[in-house]
Structure 1
Amino acid sequence: MTHDPMDALDLADIIVTDTWISMGQEEEKAERLKAFAGYQITKRMASVANKDWCFLHCLPRKQEEVDDEVFYSNRSLVWQEAENRKWTVMAVMLSLLQDHKLTTPKPTF
């Protein structure tokens, strides 16, 4: 555990950041931006990661969290992550909408 982002990224395979300011927390924006100053993911920070690192983010992305050079790079899997989340949500919805009557299987003799 560390408070130094360069230590955290040292030899990392995957770099993930989250939204710093969630919906409903907009009044905390100035305080959070101050607290997270120096934690924006940049190409320079990623230079200490493993050579095949990739970047993930849950979206929506804000400029303060990750710079364009990383977010739009060939290392970014953000759009694939979002698409996978879409299919996961659809599968959960389908499961919840199905009739889940419990039935006892009939023995076959």
Structure 2
Amino acid sequence: MHLRPIPAKYAGAAKVIDKVMRAFASSVLSNKLGFTKDQISRLTDHEINYHLETLLPLISMAEREQLLTVEIDRLSIVERFYSTIVYDLSKEKPPRRPLLSIFIPDLPLL
């Protein structure tokens, strides 16, 4: 997965992530978004905040719209979601299968 540059508003954010929050964030970034452990270990607190705040709403929207399948797919959720939007805007008939495919595991409660 290619990591996007972090906007300036997150670079100076005062939010600090404690160990419990980092563990939760690591689980979400790995299991839901396909980040590798190496990528996660190099993320700063500000970068984690950014990725969670910008990518998790896409997952929630996909869940509500029932765009999820049970396939394990490591493609970038943003790229797949963008494809769905572009397809919908093209005024063609929607595909029989959703274009967005995410693996959503059960996350333990903290």
TM-score range, shorter-chain basis? under 0.3
Larger Rg: 1
Which is richer in helix? 2
TM-score, normalisation: structure 2: 0.25
**When you count strand as a share of all residues, which structure comes out higher?**
1
Q: TM-score, normalised by structure 1?
A: 0.25
